[in-house]
Amino acid sequence: MRELAYKVGDVVGDRFLSPPRTAFGNYVNHGPRDRQAIALTFDDGPSLDSTERLLDVLGELDAPSTFFCVGENVRANPDLVRRELDEGHCVGSHSERHSRGAGLSLSDTRHIEQGEAAIVETTGFRPTLYRPPWGWLTPWEARRLHKRGYTIVGWDVYTLDWQIPEPAAGSVADGIVRDTRPGSIICMHDAFPLEERWNKRVTAETVALIVPRLRDLGFEFVTVDDLLDVPARRPPAESLS
């Protein structure tokens, strides 16, 4: 009975709280449709091995991207976060522990504050881009995030590269190329939440396939802040509105 309740909860949450069509209009799911620019985004890291492998591929392809990082993973692998920034990528928050339930709370903001603090401690700046775990966003969670100055970033191209066992990179790549439009935000996963090390290959392999194909179609890869024309960071001491 409990397992059935969880499954029903997942279906309801995915249907009514997640982008691109739901979440009560609080997500930004894509950029301008009249610009041939798109954004690769990666959730759940950083983790050793998997994030390192992906960064190597992104560097070889010169494809700037955006990483939505989990606070506990940031504390476990701060050098990887700094490497992301050093190599021209953008860093946003993906909460402290990747909990769907935390965002359902009517009053608890610790998951936001602690995830933000991990990034401040590692980078010296406050992130201003946020992606809720699993894409679940309630109206009250959106108000909390907007009050803290966040742009809440969704997606219009979703992938199953997070699945275990890993899907075939070619199949994931075909789906991305098929669904991408001007202004698209592509949601992928570079690691596994709360795991310091993860041997994940499909994401890096998929990126190696899609970047040349999408460039051949005329697309330019940019970070989310560039695509949406919003700030990616603020000073840590800046007061909240």
Report the distance separating Cα 174 and Cα 183, nearest Å.
Answer: 18
Catalytic residues: 43, 189
For residue 102, the 8-state DSSP code is: G
Report the distance separating Cα 66 and Cα 200, nearest Å.
Answer: 18
The answer to whether 183 touches 30, Cβ cutoff 8 Å, is yes
Concatenated DSSP letters of 134-196: GG---HHHHHHHHHTT-EEB--SEE--TT-SSPPPHHHHHHHHHHH--TTBEEEEESS-TT-S
Report the distance separating Cα 96 and Cα 108, nearest Å.
Answer: 12
